[in-house]
Amino acid sequence: MCLITPQQPMKKMQQGLVRRANVCGILRQGDFSVMKKNSNRQANWQMNQQRLKQWNRTQLNIIRTHSRWRMNHL
């Protein structure tokens, strides 16, 4: 990140910030449209399966750590 020198006008900096935020927004929307446009059912299904597996893994880890904590702190 560049340091702001007193000589730089404030307006220029604000413009840059707005542009950066806008780019992020556009990128995010792009991701969504790609996901929605995925009309290939099998690819979609596989993606969902992977996401579910990941989610289940995290949940299991959470449960496991919690139960271990309970066992140790009876």
Domain boundaries, the chain: 41-74
**Mean pLDDT estimate for the chain:** 66
Q: Give the mean pLDDT of 42-49.
A: 84
If phi > 0 it is left, if psi is from -120 to 50 it is alpha, else beta; for residue 45 that is alpha
For residues 11-30, give the mean pLDDT. 51
Q: For the whole model, what pTM was predicted?
A: 0.30
Whether 38 contacts 44, CB under 8 Å:
yes
pLDDT confidence band for 67 (50 / 70 / 90)? confident
DSSP 39: -
4 CB-near residues (< 8 Å, 6+ apart):
13
pLDDT exceeds 60 at position 21 = no
Length of the chain: 74
* Mean pLDDT across 13-27: 51
**For 4-12, what is the mean pLDDT?**
55
